[in-house]
Copies of this chain bind each other. A is one copy, B any other.
Amino acid sequence: MAPRKQQQIFDTTLTMLAETGYDRLTIEGVAERSGVNKTTLYRWWPSKAALVANALIEARALEFAVPDTGSLEGDLTELASRIAALLTTSPSGDIAVAALAASAGHPELATSVRGFFADRLARERPIFERAAARGELAPDTDLMTIVDLIAGAIWLRVVFRGLPADSAFVSHIVQTVLRGICR
């Protein structure tokens, strides 16, 4: 399948997930809306779960470039700003919340969400490798915890509390975590 067509299918899948929820999402519906034969879709993705899992990781709608600003603080501040932007703009914020919401009752989707977060962590790893190479970070630093503190605080503030994550908040949490990991 042409990459452009595949991207369109992924974006359609996630848009429909945000609109209708996982229960009402069907491969037939995605086929119809993206103008692709449903047998073609089934050949590429044997199940709705497989399609959503692939879309979560590959769709442009949830994409963000990993920053490279020249400093760990710069990179983490930019990363945190992009996570905040992703959660507070449409359709990405609705997609993220819908995927998480649906994973509550669907173990196969929970597996996809875990895959999404693992993929994100793998993509963010160069930030920490560059920081270690610059001597800004001990090589044995626990990256997942740094990401969980920063991304978790943004999720809680934005999605659970419904409060803004402005640049002052983003800088504050990044600086707190950075002071916290320096010994």
Contact = CB atoms under 8 A, between A and B. Distances in A.
Interface of A: 21, 94, 97-98, 100-102, 104-105, 110, 113-114, 117-118, 142, 144-145, 148-149, 151-157, 159-162, 169, 172-173, 175-183
17 contacts: A100-B100, A101-B105, A113-B160, A114-B161, A117-B161, A142-B172, A145-B172, A145-B173, A145-B176, A148-B152, A149-B173, A152-B153, A152-B156, A155-B155, A175-B180, A177-B180, A180-B181
A37 to B, nearest CB: 31
A106 to B, nearest CB: 10
A97 B102 CA distance: 10
A102 B105 CA distance: 11
Nearest to A146: B176
Contact of A149 (B97, B110, B160, B177): B177
Contact of A101 (B94, B102, B154, B162): B102
Contacts of A142: 172
A140 to B, nearest CB: 13
A176 B177 contact: yes
A160 B114 contact: yes
